[in-house]
């Protein structure tokens, strides 16, 4: 397993996204999810990614149980800031200092750990200035409850403002063959020494060829995602077919090719990048980790890079569409 720096942390070059183990992508299976986490650890994955919103705390509890006897093998990353306590339809993005401290205490309790290795603000806050929230997060570092700080889905100006308050180890953003918005922030990230943690590197599964809305469970949130809607999906399916065809020619899976592209592209951009593909399948964990050993010659990225221009539909679902009301 290769490792890469995120701030002062040395993390596995691929992490594991745990969100779908609790909700959003259909029925969850506790035992299968635990097996997936254990398989990841056995393969050398150290960065496990969760959030207090996933399953309304369920995901942190699950992850805490999974690592209870292997804490020394794990770097725990979790997030706070999206308050869904009044209902999913009335979510707020919060960042006031008292809320920051309460969220951290609650996550530590659910995870059953004494500190969080990488603590993210899930989105820029709607109620206070970003710098005030980061200041409260910095106090958690000083208290020994958090080791490194991260931000999710921020622009370059927001990253600079936050970094001036306390060093930011990583920006987590959606990044894949069909979602490349964060590349606009990369020059600032490279300048400040901030790493990229890419969520949904498989296009929420679409790039693996599993983009047919009819194949998704009734309670799968991707049914409402713009790129999975019928008209958009018909266009995007051609993209997934291109990935699948090229992968078959190389003797690998579409998922492995999509991940290998992230690694190749991050080297071109000159930043540390750690994709965190999400799955509750031990078999898919092993398949994804194998992508670390797949080299791509220059011809492959050259064929794949233009695909982002062919994507139909916005990448933002309801959660990703949050924007701060405070103008920074």
State the CB neighbour count (10 A cutoff) for residue 117: 21
H-type helices in 153-295, by residue range?
A: 156-165, 186-192, 230-250, 254-269, 282-289
SS3 state of residue 176? strand
CA 195/CA 159 separation, integer angstroms: 12
List the 16-17 sheet strands across, edge first: 16-17, 47-49, 75-80, 116-121, 146-152, 170-174, 195-199, 273-275
CA 246/CA 97 separation, integer angstroms: 49
For 15, 51, 67, 94, the CA distances from 62, given in Å and listed in that order, are 17, 11, 9, 24
CA 205/CA 288 separation, integer angstroms: 12
| Nearest of 81, 82, 18, 68 to residue 47 by alpha carbon | 18
Catalytic residue among 24, 25, 54, 175: 54
CA 257/CA 277 separation, integer angstroms: 13
HSE, CB side, 13 Å, CA atoms: give it for residue 249.
Answer: 8
Q: What is the dihedral of CA 23, 199, 315, 182, to 10 degrees?
A: 150
| Nearest of 137, 42, 41, 129 to residue 80 by alpha carbon | 137
Residues near 124 by beta carbon (within 8 Å), at least 6 away in sequence: 93, 95, 130, 151, 153, 154, 158, 322, 323, 324, 326, 328
Q: Maximum CA pair distance of the chain?
A: 54
CA 253/CA 291 separation, integer angstroms: 9
* Active-site annotation holds for 54: yes
The residues annotated with a catalytic role in the active site are 54
């Amino acid at each position: 397993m290769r490792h890469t720096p995120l701030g002062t942390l040395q993390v596995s070059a691929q992490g594991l996204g745990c969100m779908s183990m609790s909700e959003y992508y259909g029925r969850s299976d506790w035992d299968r999810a635990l097996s997936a986490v254990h398989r990841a650890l056995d393969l050398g994955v150290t960065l496990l990614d969760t959030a207090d919103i996933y399953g309304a705390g369920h995901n942190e509890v699950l992850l805490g149980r999974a690592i209870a006897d292997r804490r020394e093998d794990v770097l725990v990353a979790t997030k706070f800031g999206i308050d869904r306590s009044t209902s999913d339809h009335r979510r707020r993005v919060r960042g006031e200092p008292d809320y920051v401290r309460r969220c951290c205490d609650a996550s530590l309790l659910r995870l059953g750990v004494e500190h969080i290795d990488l603590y993210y603000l899930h989105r820029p806050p709607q109620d206070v200035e970003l710098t005030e929230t980061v200041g409260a997060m910095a106090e958690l570092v000083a208290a020994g409850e958090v080791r490194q700080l991260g931000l999710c889905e921020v622009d370059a100006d927001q990253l600079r403002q936050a970094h001036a308050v306390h060093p930011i180890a990583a920006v987590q953003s959606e990044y894949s063959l069909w979602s490349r918005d964060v590349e606009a922030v990369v020059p600032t990230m490279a300048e400040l020494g901030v790493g990229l943690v890419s969520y949904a590197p498989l296009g929420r599964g679409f790039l693996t060829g599993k983009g047919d809305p009819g194949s998704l469970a009734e309670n799968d949130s991707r049914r409402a995602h713009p790129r999975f809607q019928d008209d958009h999906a018909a266009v995007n399916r051609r993209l997934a077919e291109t990935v699948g065809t090229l992968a078959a020619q190389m003797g690998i899976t579409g998922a492995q090719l999509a991940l290998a592209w992230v690694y190749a592209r991050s080297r071109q951009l000159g930043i540390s990048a750690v994709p965190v593909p999400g799955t509750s399948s031990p078999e898919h964990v092993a398949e994804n980790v194998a992508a670390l050993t797949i080299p791509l010659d220059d011809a492959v990225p050259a064929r794949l890079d233009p695909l982002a221009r062919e994507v139909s539909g916005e990448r933002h679902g309801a959660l990703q569409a949050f924007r701060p009301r405070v103008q920074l």
